[in-house]
């Protein structure tokens, strides 16, 4: 696309140089710039992208988008805010793919990945192909692509949506993290539906207060648009958890139609007579399109919520309840969520991505419902993230497990011992025989498995599907499931 065409929707832009040039791609990282690219300089949390303008040009950028004058031998486009301008340019460059796709966004503290997975499964099974972007990867058809963030930045998103469209997708289902919403990574995305899972403590390092955190999530609902047409495909829906008090706020700020789901409160889609068993969870699913008995292979009340959210979303799309039931019942699990590691040992080993107080408590309570013996919980907290959740998570582990082994998660740039000291603050009142501190995660996993006796359960929490451990900016190969398997074999 010609630069001048690309710039047409931008109201305030000062162009120095030739705008009659072809732009082959938009890039925000100088290291990835290729000949023909437009380089966008963003002021980041750690560095100012304007520092890399020269490098970008040396690598072949034919134009740069900046907030300050720079002296480079290519076309310079100066705008007041490169982040905002980039959102406009990316949507224009990729020809507004979210106008040709129905975009469903899922937000909430916990359950986004699981819910996105369930919605995508139902849509695909029904014959309406859906691409997906989230914590684990981007998926289009049988192909997966790595992602750096749960919700990638503006350019990657638009590019991903265009790839989905080219691959024949009718839907895109994405996780919308609060960081992404707050940082404007979803600008230019025209959402068809927005789904809310729940709001509990996390990320207070970034959002400071729960109100700010809620407001960030609210952006997804206020951005929804308000079409009410005869064609249901053009309607907009907000799918809200009736059992979470934040939903009232989202209902207030969204112009879209509201559909509620829940267990405790009266809702449009509800679960009744929930029964947990060794082979999953059974319940009666009551909806505005009829009732049905459901047998989820997923365990835990929290997964009933995820299934309800997915059901409400799919019903809004006109998918028959019988199809929804069949799809949900066929899901055996989600990568790194309540995943069993089985080497034939006489006790249970589970790897789960719980890395917030609420998810850890839910998972441990679920285990308590079926555990016959001692429950061991190996858990740590990530560095460079919400410090205030550390003592709370430690207290939860030591309360709901019989023995907690505190260890490292991804220390990132923090001192692992200091993170553990924050955690131990939370268990001052707890008897010392209920917890231990083992800094090295591998050793902690080995120790828990060494201690386990027949009938016991070992929960390894916090890293789920992750295949690395980030220490001092370096990602080392590390997979809880692999390490557990090694421990079980030794």
Ligand X SMILES: Nc1ncnc2c1ncn2[C@@H]1O[C@H](COP(=O)(O)OP(=O)(O)OP(=O)(O)O)[C@@H](O)[C@H]1O
Element (H, E) at 251: helix 246-253
Query: What DSSP state is assigned to residue 20?
Result: -
Query: CB-based contacts of 188: which residues, under 8 Å, 6+ apart?
Result: 87, 88, 90, 91, 96, 98, 154, 157, 158
For position 465 contacting Mg ion by CB under 5 A, the verdict is no
Residues 155-214, interacting with ligand UAG (CB under 6 A): 177-180
Residue 218 near residue 257, CB atoms below 8 Å:
no
Residues 3-42, interacting with ligand UAG (CB under 6 A): 28-31, 42
Distance of CA 215 to the CA centre of its chain: 17
Chain residue whose CB lies nearest ligand API = 382
- The torsion of the CA quartet 106, 112, 116, 119, rounded to 10 degrees, works out to -80
Query: CB-based contacts of 287: which residues, under 8 Å, 6+ apart?
Result: 268, 269, 270, 311, 312, 315, 321
Least Cβ distance, residue 299 to ligand X (angstroms): 10
Q: Which of 482, 342, 345, 353 is nearest to 409 (CA)?
A: 353
Rounded CA separation 229/182 (Å): 30
| The one among 186, 198, 281, 313 contacting ligand X by CB under 6 A | 198
Q: Which of 186, 185, 180 is nearest to 203 (CA)?
A: 180
Among the residue ranges 150-158, 229-237, 241-249, 277-285, the one whose residues contact ligand UAG (CB under 6 A): 150-158
Element (H, E) at 206: helix 204-207
Structure tokens at 235: 């309607």
Residue 44 interacts with which of ligand API, ligand UAG, Mg ion, none, CB < 5 to 8 Å by class: ligand UAG
| The one among 115, 135, 235, 313 contacting Mg ion by CB under 5 A | 135
Rounded CA separation 134/273 (Å): 32
Q: Applying CB under 6 A, what is the total number of residues that bind ligand API?
A: 9
Residue 317 near residue 103, CB atoms below 8 Å:
no
For position 463 contacting ligand API by CB under 6 A, the verdict is yes
User: What angle is formed at CA 272 by the lines to CA 268 and CA 273, rounded to 5 degrees?
Assistant: 175
Sequence ranges of the binding site for meso-2,6-diaminopimelate:
385, 409-412, 462, 466
| The one among 59, 149, 374, 399 contacting ligand UAG by CB under 6 A | 149
Distance of CA 279 to the CA centre of its chain: 27
Rounded CA separation 144/208 (Å): 34
Query: 133 vs 377, which CB is nearer to ligand UAG?
Result: 133
Residue 435 near residue 447, CB atoms below 8 Å:
no
Residue 42 near residue 49, CB atoms below 8 Å:
yes
Residue 463 interacts with which of Mg ion, ligand UAG, ligand API, none, CB < 5 to 8 Å by class: ligand API
Q: Applying CB under 6 A, what is the total number of residues that bind ligand UAG?
A: 20
Residues 39-98, interacting with ligand UAG (CB under 6 A): 42, 44-47, 49, 52
Least Cβ distance, residue 167 to ligand API (angstroms): 27
Please report, for the chain, how many H helices and E strands are present, in that order.
16, 24
For position 391 contacting ligand API by CB under 6 A, the verdict is no
Residues 145-184, interacting with ligand X (CB under 6 A): 150, 175
Residues 312-371, interacting with ligand X (CB under 6 A): 337, 352-354, 358-359, 362-363
For position 146 contacting ligand UAG by CB under 6 A, the verdict is no
Query: 111 vs 391, which CB is nearer to Mg ion?
Result: 111
Rounded CA separation 487/482 (Å): 9
For position 112 contacting Mg ion by CB under 5 A, the verdict is yes
Chain residue whose CB lies nearest ligand UAG = 44
| φ, ψ dihedrals at 264, nearest 5° | -80, -50
Query: 144 vs 226, which CB is nearer to ligand UAG?
Result: 144
Residue 353 interacts with which of ligand X, Mg ion, ligand UAG, none, CB < 5 to 8 Å by class: ligand X
Sequence ranges of the binding site:
30, 108-114, 149-151, 177, 185, 385, 409-412, 462, 466
Query: 44 vs 73, which CB is nearer to ligand API?
Result: 44
Structure tokens at 63: 């134009």
Residues 360-419, interacting with ligand X (CB under 6 A): 362-363
Q: Which of 216, 217, 84 is nearest to 154 (CA)?
A: 84
Interface with Mg ion by CB under 5 A: which residues? Answer: 112-113, 135, 150
Residue numbers of the site for ligand X (CB under 6 A)? 108, 110-114, 135, 150, 175, 197-198, 302, 305-306, 337, 352-354, 358-359, 362-363, 464
**Contacting positions for ligand API (CB under 6 A):** 150, 355, 382, 385, 409-410, 462-463, 466
């Amino acid at each position: 696309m010609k630069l001048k065409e690309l710039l047409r929707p931008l109201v305030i832009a000062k162009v120095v140089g030739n705008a009659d040039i072809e732009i082959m791609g938009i890039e925000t990282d100088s290291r990835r710039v290729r000949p023909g690219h437009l380089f966008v300089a963003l002021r980041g949390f750690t560095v100012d992208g304007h520092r890399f303008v020269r490098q970008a040009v040396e690598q072949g950028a034919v134009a740069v988008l900046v907030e300050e004058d720079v002296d480079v031998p290519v076309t310079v486009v100066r705008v007041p805010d490169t982040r905002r301008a980039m959102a406009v340019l990316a949507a224009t460059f990729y020809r507004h793919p979210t106008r040709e796709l129905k975009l469903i966004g899922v937000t909430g503290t916990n359950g986004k990945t699981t819910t996105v997975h369930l919605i995508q499964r139902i849509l695909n099974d029904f014959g309406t192909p859906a691409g997906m972007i989230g914590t684990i990867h981007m998926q289009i058809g049988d192909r997966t692509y790595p992602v750096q963030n749960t919700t990638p930045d503006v350019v990657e998103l638009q590019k991903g949506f265009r790839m989905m469209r080219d691959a024949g997708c009718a839907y895109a289902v994405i996780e919308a993290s609060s960081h992404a919403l707050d940082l404007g990574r979803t600008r230019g995305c025209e959402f068809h539906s927005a789904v809310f899972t729940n709001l509990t403590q996390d990320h207070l390092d970034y959002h400071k207060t729960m109100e700010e955190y809620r407001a960030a999530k609210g952006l997804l609902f206020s951005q929804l648009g308000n079409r009410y047409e005869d064609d249901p495909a053009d309607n907009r829906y907000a799918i809200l958890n009736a059992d979470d008090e934040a939903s009232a706020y989202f209902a207030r700020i969204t112009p879209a139609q509201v559909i509620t789901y829940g267990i405790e409160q009266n809702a449009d889609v509800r679960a009744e007579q929930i029964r947990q068993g060794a082979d999953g969870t059974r319940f009666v699913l009551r909806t505005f399109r009829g009732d049905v008995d459901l047998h989820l292979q997923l365990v835990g009340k929290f997964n009933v919520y995820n299934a309800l959210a997915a059901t409400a979303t799919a019903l809004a799309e006109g998918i028959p309840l019988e199809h929804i039931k069949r799809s949900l019942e066929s899901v055996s699990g989600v990568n790194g969520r309540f995943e069993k590691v089985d080497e034939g040992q006489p006790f249970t080993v589970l790897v789960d991505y719980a890395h917030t107080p609420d998810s850890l408590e839910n998972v441990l309570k679920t285990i308590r419902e079926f555990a016959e013996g001692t429950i061991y919980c190996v858990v740590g907290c990530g560095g460079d993230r919400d410090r205030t959740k550390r003592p709370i998570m430690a207290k939860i582990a030591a309360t709901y497990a019989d023995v907690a082994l505190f260890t490292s998660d991804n220390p990132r740039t923090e001192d692992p011992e200091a993170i553990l000291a924050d955690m131990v603050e939370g268990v001052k009142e707890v008897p010392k025989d209920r917890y231990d501190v083992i800094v090295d995660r591998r050793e902690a996993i080995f120790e828990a498995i060494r201690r386990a006796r027949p009938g016991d359960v070992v929960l390894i929490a916090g890293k789920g599907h992750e295949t690395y451990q980030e220490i001092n900016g370096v990602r080392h190969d590390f997979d809880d499931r692999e390490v557990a398997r090694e421990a079980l074999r030794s």
